[in-house]
Chain A
């Protein structure tokens, strides 16, 4: 199974509030996991990727952070949300010899 779960599906938060988005995956162990953000009408921006528990690489400096406390759990967090953090957040896993990516259903975040 390549199932990827994300929650919540939608979220409305005030500026300055904290954030925690969760992604869990089923299937093989030790998958490479990714967090992307997509602004309206735009492509995907890679935020973080992880090759294993506790291993996080940040692609874009910002007020977001990521953690991987368990093999199949990837969490995106923020201590204080900004208006610019609004967007569609996608979690993905890598699989296959050609590093195909499989995406979760996404979380739509609106910061007011």
Chain B
């Protein structure tokens, strides 16, 4: 499975934008880029996904580099409830994925 690389941790102030980066240099043409987040003692929650174009939904935006070797999850206004571990993964048609250790986002009031 193609691998992703994320920073271990990031900090943000409340109500400021947050940009969470992810590198996936070995991505193949059919891999979707997915983002999930996990609150303590809960299962991961789907956030957003994309293939080539930038994507927006009610939770976040996903900016995908033109060569698709990196992407950035954007939280436009961080809230305390956005504090979580964020996972960037690649989803193949086979449906198997590798979840790395993710980025732990701390939001300061």
A interface residues with partner B (beta carbon < 8 Å): 32, 36, 41-46, 49, 51, 59, 88, 90, 92, 94, 98-106, 108
CB pair A100 B46 closer than 8 Å: yes
Q: Number of A-B pairs whose CB atoms are under 8 Å?
A: 57
Return A5 CB to nearest CB of chain B, in Å.
12
CB contacts under 8 Å to A, within B61-109, are: 87, 91-93, 95-102
Enumerate chain B residues within 8 angstroms of A51, measured Cβ to Cβ: 95
Partner of A32, one of B34, B92, B95: B95
Enumerate chain A residues within 8 angstroms of B21, measured Cβ to Cβ: none
CB pair A43 B97 closer than 8 Å: no
CB pair B44 A99 closer than 8 Å: no
Interface residue SS majority, chain A: strand
Minimal Cβ-Cβ distance residue in A for B85: A43
Interface residue SS majority, chain B: loop
Return A41 CB to nearest CB of chain B, in Å.
8
CB pair B42 A105 closer than 8 Å: yes
**What are 16 A-to-B residue pairs whose CB atoms are below 8 Å?**
A32-B95, A41-B101, A43-B100, A44-B87, A45-B99, A59-B96, A88-B41, A92-B43, A99-B91, A99-B93, A100-B49, A101-B44, A101-B91, A105-B43, A106-B43, A108-B41
Return B53 CB to nearest CB of chain A, in Å.
13
Check A43/B87 contact, CB under 8 A, given A98-B51, A100-B34.
yes
Return A91 CB to nearest CB of chain B, in Å.
8
CB pair A101 B97 closer than 8 Å: yes
CB pair A104 B43 closer than 8 Å: yes
Return B22 CB to nearest CB of chain A, in Å.
13
CB pair A103 B45 closer than 8 Å: yes
Enumerate chain B residues within 8 angstroms of A101, measured Cβ to Cβ: 34, 36, 44, 46, 91, 97
CB pair A98 B99 closer than 8 Å: no
Check A46/B97 contact, CB under 8 A, given A98-B34, A99-B91.
yes
Enumerate chain A residues within 8 angstroms of B93, measured Cβ to Cβ: 99
A88 to B42, CA, bound (A): 9
